[in-house]
Amino acid sequence: MTMASVRALRSIEVGVTDIARSLHFFTDVWNLSPVGESAGVHYLRGTAAFHHILSLRGTPKTGLVRMVFDAADRATVDGLHAQVTAYGTKTIEKPAPLRQPHGDYGFGFKDPEGRNIAVVCGVKDHPDSADMPDRPRRLSHLNLNCDDNDATFAAYQALGFKLTDRTIKFRFLRCNSDHHCIVIGFDTAATLNHIAFEMTDLDSVFRGAGRMIDNGHPIEWGPGRHGPGANVYCYFVGPEEIPIEYTSEMEQVDDSYPIGTPEQWKWPPRRVDRWGICGPPSERVVHAGENYLFTDDGYRLDEWR
């Protein structure tokens, strides 16, 4: 029997203590576009068709509320629910109708390390999707620090993810032709490593980096070109110490891609990427990721029904 699979990382919801400050940052500096507000939650889009890629809500503590994956249709949502349940997930909702802009059907659950996930279909997306220089297109990937990488890997396999590469530090997982849209680390705690936004090209990554520097957010890691995925990168710390990345040129792969191993992904001394321009990431961005947590109850989609 064919496994059901999610087909994209659609959006994330972030809880912030100062919503005005984060809204200003993600619109005027990070260059997303507002598409509306409902019940105090602000929705922001990139240039791709997804209705929104980031939603911001005021919360007592800063944290990631949930990540949202896109499924093709209701049958796929039901298939994914069955797979995630069979994996052994205990904290999970039944698939049920949703209200726009969240989609028309979906469910929420917690992965084995407590991260909140929603699977949705039928979102009314935008008719326009042309690239615009210097504006993020969509989310590229989420990198998650894990205490139990094997358990997390198994849970994402239940969502249809496939392994693309493995290094000594990470497993890189894909659900479409992008080399990865989820990265899971071999760490000692379940926190966020960083959130990456896809720019249209290298020039836009650098223009975005310049705009960040102009606004008091220095480059915390980069510029560089990663090994696995071959994507270019600049990392920053945004408001409330949110670890974020501008990236571009992600390698496109299919099932013929040979899964890399830690033995193959080794760098010469001093190198941390393909170019060798930058050193390792700053302590600030590493700590920002290690301290960034998921909220407790973000798997519940009550408000969306």
Distance CA 206, CA 122 (A): 35
Nearer to Fe ion, 196 or 219 (CB): 196
Stretch that binds Fe ion, among 17-25, 54-62, 241-249, 269-277 (CB under 5 A): 241-249
65 binds Fe ion (CB under 5 A): no
Residues in the interface with Fe ion (CB under 5 A) total 2
Of 42 and 174, nearer to Fe ion (C-beta) is: 174
Long-range contacts from 20-27, C-beta under 8 angstroms, 24+ separation: 21/239, 21/240, 22/56, 22/238, 22/239, 22/240, 23/56, 25/215, 25/238, 25/239, 26/54, 26/56, 26/238
Point out which span in 52-60, 130-138, 237-245, 297-305 binds Fe ion (CB under 5 A): 237-245
- 6 touching Fe ion, by CB under 5 A: no
Taking each helix axis from N to C end, the angle separating 74-87 and 149-157, rounded to the nearest 10 degrees, works out to 150
Each residue 245-274 as x (binds Fe ion by CB under 5 A) or -, in order, gives: x-----------------------------
Choose which of 155, 196, 219, 244 interacts with Fe ion (CB under 5 A): 196
Q: Which is nearer to Fe ion, 245 or 273 (CB)?
A: 245
Q: How far apart are CA 154 and CA 134, in angstroms?
A: 37
Buried/exposed 96-132: b ≥16 CB within 10 Å, e otherwise: eebeebbbbbbbbbbbbbebbbbbbbbbebeeeeeee
Nearer to Fe ion, 51 or 179 (CB): 179
CB of 73 vs Fe ion, minimal distance in Å? 30
In angstroms, the CA 300 to CA 92 distance is: 9
Q: To the nearest whole angstrom, how small is the minimum distance from the Cβ of residue 245 to Fe ion?
A: 5
| Assigned token pair, 214 | 């102009």
Does position 158 bind Fe ion by CB under 5 A? no
Name the residue whose CB lies closest to Fe ion.
Answer: 196
Assess whether the previous peptide bond of 101 is cis (omega < 30° from 0): yes
Task: Choose one: 87-95, 121-129, 195-203, 252-260; the region binding Fe ion (CB under 5 A).
Answer: 195-203
For Fe ion, the closer of residues 110 and 194 by Cβ is 194
Q: Which residues lie near Fe ion (CB under 5 A)?
A: 196, 245
